């Protein structure tokens, strides 16, 4: 994943990880941005995402 600027806690993201499409709010980001955690939408819990597995991403601040 090239655009690390959007990996900020509190941002709502949409991700394509392999064939799976996820969305949720960024909870935490490793200092080197190699992985991050989101609270997945739809009550799907907290997920750790390996940044190298993300094919597409979009984000916006959540208020």
Task: Provide the CATH number for the domain around residue 19.
Answer: 2.30.30.100
CA dist 34 and 59 (Å) reads 17
How confident is the model at residue 1, as a pLDDT?
A: 46
Mean pLDDT of 24-35: 94
pTM (predicted TM-score)? 0.81
Question: Residue 40 burial by CB count (10 A; 0-12/13-18/19+): exposed, middle or buried?
Answer: middle
**Number of domains comprising the chain:** 1
Return the percentage of the chain with pLDDT > 70, whole number.
Answer: 87
CA dist 29 and 8 (Å) reads 7
CA dist 23 and 59 (Å) reads 9
Q: Which two tokens stand for residue 1?
A: 């994943």
| Domain limits for position 28 | 4-61
Token pair 């959540």: residue: 62
């Amino acid at each position: 994943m090239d655009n690390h600027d959007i990996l900020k806690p509190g941002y709502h993201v949409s991700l394509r990880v392999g064939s799976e499409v996820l969305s949720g709010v960024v909870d935490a980001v490793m200092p080197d941005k190699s992985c991050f955690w989101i609270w997945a939408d739809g009550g799907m819990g907290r997920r750790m995402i390996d940044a190298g597995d993300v094919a597409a991403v979009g984000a916006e601040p959540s208020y």
